[in-house]
Amino acid sequence: MAVACHRRPDGDAVGSLLAMAHWLERQGKTVGLYCFDAIPQTLGFLAGLERIRSQVDAFWSETQAVVLVDCGDLSMAGVEAERVSGKALAVIDHHVTNPGFGAVNCINAEASSTA
């Protein structure tokens, strides 16, 4: 399962990414983490940052499911639509502008953050 957050990540994006990976792994899933842009140095204290990939790779291509966290739309993740085509797509977000573009959507526009 691939998990990705938005470009130019902030603490909410990275925290949500790492937390989702931790939860999925506790459920027995194999997880690949993605963020198009580099993680800010101010977040360097977070455990697991070394696992985050900046480019879609073979793991992404082979996975059957993608979870996007803190992404109001697909372009925010820096992922082309064809990269998620045919995959189960879940979206977990708090942006009021999110149109609910996943097959499964958990969007709470009243929340201050995704995490």
- What pTM was estimated for this model as a whole? 0.93
Helix segments in 27-93, DSSP class H: 58-62
Mean pLDDT, residues 42-62:
91
Rounded to whole angstroms, the Cα distance separating 67 from 1 reads 8
Phi, psi for residue 21 in degrees, rounded to 5: -60, -45
Q: For the segment 53-95, what is each residue's pLDDT rounded down to a tens digit?
A: 998 888 888 999 999 999 999 889 988 888 899 999 999 999 9
Could you give phi then psi for residue 4, rounded to 5 degrees? -135, 155
In sequence order, what are the beta bridge partners of 93?
107
